[in-house]
Amino acid sequence: MSIKLAVFDMAGTTVMDRSNVALAFINAFAKQELDITEADANPLMGYHKPLAIQLMLEKLGMEPDAGLIEEIHADFEEEMVDFYEYDPVVKPMPDAEEVFLQLKEKGIRIALNTGFSKRIAETIVHRFQWKEKGLVDDFIGSNEVAMGRPYTYMISELMKRAEVEEAKDVIKIGDTPVDIEEGRNAGCHLVIAMTTGATSRDVLEAAQPDHILNQLSDIPAILQ
């Protein structure tokens, strides 16, 4: 196995998430006097957030309106940027930085992708100084490409930037079924699911990843 690029999800995978993303999603809908629950929000974690909003509006029996989607997303983005920039509970997932370093020592480039916008992703990476520390080589937000997960545009763009030509040289790590689907669609050599996010093991198993892990520190051993 010659892995050249590891593409990690952010919230719930490499960034600790105590339902903070789902709560911001719920709050953004509440500002429009629309009531949704965490059980409603969790299945949409990992998706490009405007698409997640559209899907939720459809679930509520509403006609998706571009203006309403934009307004809800703007409220969500503002809350998330404020949270990731200032809240003291924001931390890397346990072992994330150590695993980044271990993989980089094997010559593997580290990239992050996310259902968040580039603005939110930048806030997280800057907060942890991952670029300055040399732990993360690249990252991408879902609004930087034509379509987010489960489409492959984010992985393809990260491969292009890293000059990695074959998807068999890429592994994908995430905590949601749509992460797994994205990795499968891209043809990644390995697709690894993490139980550290909002998705139960049973739901992850149904998506059929290559591995399901409870901690990031198990990844280097898989690559031996």
C-alpha atoms less than 13 angstroms from C-alpha of 120 in its C-beta half-sphere? 27
Sheet holding 170-174, edge to edge: 138-141, 109-114, 5-8, 170-174, 190-194, 211-213
Q: What is the pLDDT of residue 224?
A: 84
Per-residue pLDDT reduced to its tens digit, 69-92: 999 999 999 999 999 999 999 999
Per-residue pLDDT reduced to its tens digit, 5-41: 999 999 999 999 989 999 999 999 999 999 999 999 9
Domain ranges in the chain are 5-17+91-222, 20-86
In order of 21, 51, 64, 124, 176, the CA distances from 60 in angstroms are 20, 14, 10, 31, 22
Q: What is the pLDDT of residue 154?
A: 98
State yes or no: pLDDT of 46 exceeds 70: yes
CATH number for the region 5-17+91-222 comes to 3.40.50.1000
Q: What is the pLDDT of residue 198?
A: 87
Question: Mean pLDDT score of the chain, rounded to an integer?
Answer: 97
Q: Evaluate whether 5-17+91-222 and 20-86 have a shared fold.
A: no
Beta pairing partners, 141: 114
State yes or no: pLDDT of 206 exceeds 80: yes
State yes or no: pLDDT of 1 exceeds 70: no
Residue 54 banded pLDDT, cuts 50, 70, 90: very high
Mean pLDDT of 203-223: 97
**pTM of the predicted protein model:** 0.94
Per-residue pLDDT reduced to its tens digit, 176-194: 999 999 999 999 999 999 9
- Please give the Cα distance from 50 to 216 (Å, whole number): 29
State the Cα angle at 102 between 101 and 103, rounded to 5°.
Answer: 90
CATH number for the region 20-86 comes to 1.10.150.240
- Answer whether 173's CB lies under 8 Å from 194's CB: yes
State yes or no: pLDDT of 126 exceeds 90: yes
- Answer whether 86's CB lies under 8 Å from 66's CB: no
The alpha carbons of the chain give a radius of gyration, in whole angstroms, of: 17
